[in-house]
Amino acid sequence: MYQLHYFPGNANAAPHMVLEEIKADYELCLVDRTKNAQKSPEYLKLNPNGRIPTLVHGQFILNEAAAIVLYLVDNHPDAGLAPKVGTPERARFNQWLIFLTNSLQEELMIWQYPERLAGDDQAALDVVKRGSERRAGAFLDVIEEHLEKNGPFLLGNKLSAADFYLAMLARWGRPMTRPPRSRPHIANLLDRVTALPSVRRAYEREGITDEIC
């Protein structure tokens, strides 16, 4: 059985969607950020970085949302959420997943938590926040252009775990001046992904019942 350590709406959302889609046997373990539980001695034994999520599978412990997604799709190849390892299609899947986590997710994190870079200086906070939102918007434009030419999903006609990852990040970006859904081809992908029962179950189990993304 898998054990996913989570907090509602955090980076655990994409692995959680994948767990539901592959119909895995798993349990959720709340890491209560409102009580700073991610920094507790108990949790730091699982994740020394004090970040969410963490996946426990027997004696194996894995951190980082994208790494967890890769582990799950490779453990369950029959679910078809990633192309076969060693193929050009798999390299393209890896490219999109790494782009999402290294580029778009990074900028969204800076945008959400500018104080981590700027401290409490309001002018610096505004500069950091504007810059990160601009860069995140540019990355979303890259995705939109790709989907216009090659959609409806990131891998064309084939749903993959990368689409779940994009849906997670799109939810984070809802308060942006120009949110992800303002781009029609991203909106189409999000409509398709959020209509999946697995995605709705994942968010419902996390207690999220408002608009998903």
148-169 burial code (b ≥16 CB/10 A, e <16): eeebbbbbeeebbbbbbbbbbb
Report the alpha-carbon distance of residue 12 to residue 6 in Å, rounded. Answer: 6
Strand order of the sheet with strand 2-6?
26-30, 2-6, 54-57, 60-63
Q: Which two tokens stand for residue 136?
A: 């995140």
The amino acid present at 145, given as its one-letter code, is E
Query: What domains, with CATH codes, occur in the chain?
Result: 2-80+201-205 (3.40.30.10), 88-196 (1.20.1050.10)
* 27 and 51 Cβ atoms separated by less than 8 Å: no
Closest CA to 213 of 185, 184, 182, 190: 190
Give me the residue label for tokens 């969204």. Answer: 108
pLDDT of residue 117: 85
Residue carrying the six token digits 């999903």: 153
Half-sphere exposure (CA, 13 Å, Cβ side) for 101? 20
Q: How far apart are CA 47 and CA 26, in angstroms?
A: 19
Nearest CA to 186 out of 166, 164, 160, 161 is that of 166
Q: Model's pTM, two decimal places?
A: 0.96
Q: What is the C-alpha end-to-end distance of the chain, expressed in Å?
A: 29
Encode the chain (213 residues) as per-residue pLDDT tens digits.
999 999 999 999 999 999 999 999 999 999 999 999 999 999 999 999 999 999 999 999 999 999 999 999 999 999 999 999 999 999 999 999 999 999 999 999 999 998 988 888 898 889 999 999 999 999 999 999 999 999 999 999 999 999 999 999 999 999 999 999 999 999 999 999 999 999 999 999 999 987 777
Q: How far apart are CA 133 and CA 50, in angstroms?
A: 25
Whole-angstrom Cα distance, residue 164 to residue 177?
23
